[in-house]
A = this chain, B = another copy of it.
Amino acid sequence: MSESRVSEIAAPATPDTATPPGMVRLSLAEVHALTRDTLVGAGLAAPHAEAIARSIARAEADECHSHGLYRLIGYVASVRSGKAAREALPVLTRATPAVLRVDARRGFAPLAIETGVPALIEAARTYGIAALAIHDCYHFSALWADIEPAVDAGLAAWCFTVGQCCVAPAGGTKPLLGTNPMAFGWPGPQGSPFIFDFATSAAARGEIELKRRAGASIPEGWAMGPEGEPTTDPARALAGALLPFGGHKGSALSMMVELIAGPLIGDLTSRQALAAENGDGGPPLGGELFIAIDPAVFGADSLAARLAEGDALFAAAREQPGVRLPAERRYKARARGRHGVLVPATLYAELKALGAPT
């Protein structure tokens, strides 16, 4: 991508289009091109680079910066280290008419997900319920984006993946579980479906990293230090173990994700992935499980009324001051996206340097 493709807005017409100092404004097409060109330049096959570019552009459009351009650094590291397969294309097979499998062949997840999700949608429509297992992939994207196409197609959908092994079970002090995120989506209201996506750890590891850099402390209940002591010191937390959210209930959910995105589908637990890790800063190896259910199977006639009841529930929740539904912040950001997305100039410079020949 040439420098001239970065929008330069000297005198913004509205606050929406103002570019604050230290930031660069990119169109989504520019985010896509920067990602694709950088990855192709690093040696990744074009179909993978395009799928990752779509994934990163969607995250930036929703101002989900943690899964946006920042992730390009890790993707490039795992291309360069040889951890992720550069050329291997994902292969879709059927275990049963209702259970699909995509062998990602040690490639990055986005292309494997794009390969499997349309078949998942079709199988769920045919059988009412269907599952999709992505195997042997490097997953580095946001789960909400993985299920959104199925939710947009009118399905209720879940996905689960095993994260970095740094979480102690409730009551424990040593890492055993991954950050183990899960996502769920429900098809409504139109254009802004109910989708949540959260780590089953109390906080993301990156969040604690940021606190450490800022010299700040972390809240009680997030982590244990290396001696197994409760800590509010982010440095000791990073040397120790994160804790699950919500005590023993969140811990049980984390264990569930570990089991269903690991041994259930024949993929790695987070501690197995850790043992296989080369420490290049990119994503861990593992699998991802999707489940989708077609609400129409429980009565196509009544479907509109049932979706309306869901919408009424969301409306009633919003009537209570202080309640924020999952994904609302992202949809607002998405609506603003026509003016492009803001990227820190330092990150932008780092990414441009990444794309330079080595």
Chain B residues with CB below 8 A from A326, complex form: 248, 252
Chain B residues with CB below 8 A from A250, complex form: 245-246, 249-250
For A198, A258, A317, A321, the residue with the greatest tally of chain B CB atoms inside 10 Å of its CB is: A317
Chain B residues with CB below 8 A from A204, complex form: none
Which single member of B266, B298, B324 contacts A264 (CB below 8 Å)?
B298
Chain B residues with CB below 8 A from A309, complex form: 262-263, 269, 272
Which single member of B127, B174, B259 contacts A156 (CB below 8 Å)?
B259
Chain B residues with CB below 8 A from A258, complex form: 313
Given contacts A255-B313, A263-B306, contact A322 B173 (CB under 8 A): yes
Given contacts A176-B320, A263-B295, A313-B176, contact A98 B131 (CB under 8 A): no
Which single member of B129, B156, B246, B255 contacts A129 (CB below 8 Å)?
B129
Chain B residues with CB below 8 A from A206, complex form: none
Q: Dominant SS at the A interface?
A: mixed
**B245 pairs with A249, CB closer than 8 A:** yes
Given contacts A169-B320, A176-B317, contact A307 B263 (CB under 8 A): yes
Chain B residues with CB below 8 A from A194, complex form: 255, 259
Q: Which 9 A-B pairs have the closest CB atoms?
A: A246-B246, A172-B320, A99-B128, A171-B322, A196-B252, A263-B306, A96-B128, A172-B323, A171-B323
